[in-house]
């Protein structure tokens, strides 16, 4: 009977360690995905700003303004 209790205790300890390791790994993955999402958001904003700055209407308006001077 004591052997069974010892084996069950070892099994519970091992499963607890595995669960904690999986939670840590999941947390690290979520943090990395969040960091990548922030980088992608910054890149997307930069591309959107550049696209708006290079739009034909903006370029034409600036050309008209330059030639009027």
25-61 pLDDT, tens digit per residue, is 999 999 999 999 999 998 888 888 777 777 777 778 8
The percent of residues in the chain predicted with pLDDT above 70, rounded, is 100
pLDDT value of position 48: 81
Q: How far apart are CA 55 and CA 48, in angstroms?
A: 10
pLDDT value of position 45: 86
pLDDT value of position 52: 72
pLDDT value of position 56: 79
58 Cβ partners below 8 Å, 6+ apart?
52
């Amino acid at each position: 009977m004591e052997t069974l209790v010892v084996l069950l205790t070892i099994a519970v300890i091992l499963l607890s360690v595995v669960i904690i390791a999986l939670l840590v790994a999941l947390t690290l993955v979520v943090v990395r995905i969040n960091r990548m999402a922030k980088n992608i958001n910054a890149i997307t904003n930069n591309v959107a700003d550049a696209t708006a700055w290079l739009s034909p209407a903006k370029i034409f308006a600036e050309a008209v303004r330059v030639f009027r001077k």
